[in-house]
Structure 1
């Protein structure tokens, strides 16, 4: 067994123990408003935004999270036009991931988001860094952006991928960011896939950091990896892996989590939209929505 597989299998044992074990949180989740991160269906959105939103609305999704696409977070529409388009299919744009930008550019984006009633602007990526001090500087920047969001009536958030759970100078960057950001200004988006596959316990984070986590990204984790080199080697549709989503959602709700988005980049169907359908069908079957 090579080091990579050893670390993965260790992470799975840790995750399975945490997920199967007793928790201070209730097992059954209160129904959520189902959301989807549009990166999951990015090719469809690029080809036909209106048609894609129509299909997502018909599936039962009700909330959207966008990202900095080639056409922008509003997909070539003005903020008001996109809001009207989405609303026609029963959808609301709640949040967006944004591309790197200056504070002045961020302020402009916050104004646009606020004009249509969005709730969150979220930093999706910082990248691995050689020294932990870099993440302390990022925390300072997050506080500034959080203040900008507050001025506009929004909230600022950060989405950890895998690298914040990898030690740097003996510390976990995600912990440094949590400890050095102002809770009044900065929230976090828990991606349970990355938390679990890096060998961490999502329940422990929810218990320790309480209501810092206000949003969740949802995709499941296979017990074993796909063939080496596959993109998102252990990702799968909700209900096909080891994660107990009713329990995870209940744990999030217990500490004030409000928004839950399906987000997946490896698919077990012919199209991403079919995978989107499979995920919401699972939620409907489990009475999560």
Structure 2
């Protein structure tokens, strides 16, 4: 009997060694945070038009480590020379990860500038709704050609979606056509999670459908409802998109760059929104 009791005493600690409190503590230790995140400069386009350097310095002060640009009429370097632009990035401890650009015109010149300042991507932000799936197939082939051209400069190509590629056309999703008819070695994708969500698609399911194809994403939140999709944008964390879950899953599926984009401002200024979104992402655990 005493030997059996001794065995019971020995076994019990193994059975009950993990208490609920310890499990919670372990779970908390397993949580991660984004070590760096970026912002699409279109979010504060008015400020960029007035003083791009001061604006980028302020954004770096909010915690943004990466920038994604766009051509605001002064070119993808906002009127700065490459050396001046690189100095700004060095002084602020940031990188210019990408720029949205008109990739259908002056591609060589833009690619050369992008390469000189260390950009990883030039991104097509818009092709507009096409009339047929064949038209999307033609765009996919054009994307392959653009990707091949950019490859020679050491720059990658990506396409940024809106809602229209997630709306049924001829029994298929146009986004599927673009995914299936582009070469993964030449064409990456930037998922605008907001536009996928308001198109009533499921960002998580779509990311899982094409693992490794989405390397960048736009983060912006949507208020609940079914109204005008252009009028549902809200600050991160105040809408219905489950970003903690999505960021965790997308990282596991190959997502590398998380970029804030704010296009609607229910209150405050665009810079106020940029600061609030940076605070949200800095504190987010997943």
TM-score with structure 2 setting the length: 0.85
Q: Partner of 1:199 in structure 2?
A: 200
Q: Partner of 2:111 in structure 1?
A: 110
Q: Partner of 1:269 in structure 2?
A: 267
Displacement of 1:29 after TM fit? 4.7
Mapping for residues 73-222 of structure 1, pairs under 5 Å: 73-102=76-105, 105-222=106-223
Structure number, greater radius of gyration: 2
Is 2:100 the partner of 1:61? no
1:37-82 Cα offsets, whole Å, 9 max, x none, are 0000000000011111111011111100001211111111122322
Secondary structure at 2:34 match in 1: coil
Between Structure 1 and Structure 2, how many residues are aligned? 257
TM-score with structure 1 setting the length: 0.85
| Structure 2: gaps (5+ residues) | 1-29
Displacement of 1:212 after TM fit? 0.2
Q: CA–CA distance in 1 between the matches of 2:234 and 2:89?
A: 27
Contact 1:95-1:118 within 8 A present in 2 as well = yes
| Structure 1: gaps (5+ residues) | 1-26
Is 2:34 the partner of 1:31? yes
Displacement of 1:270 after TM fit? 2.1
Q: Which has the higher contact order (CA 8 A, sep 6+)?
A: 1
Displacement of 1:243 after TM fit? 1.4
Contact 2:34-2:281 within 8 A present in 1 as well = no
Contact 1:28-1:247 within 8 A present in 2 as well = no
Q: CA–CA distance in 2 between the matches of 1:224 and 1:140?
A: 37
Displacement of 1:31 after TM fit? 2.2
Q: CA–CA distance in 2 between the matches of 1:232 and 1:174?
A: 20
Q: Partner of 1:234 in structure 2?
A: 232
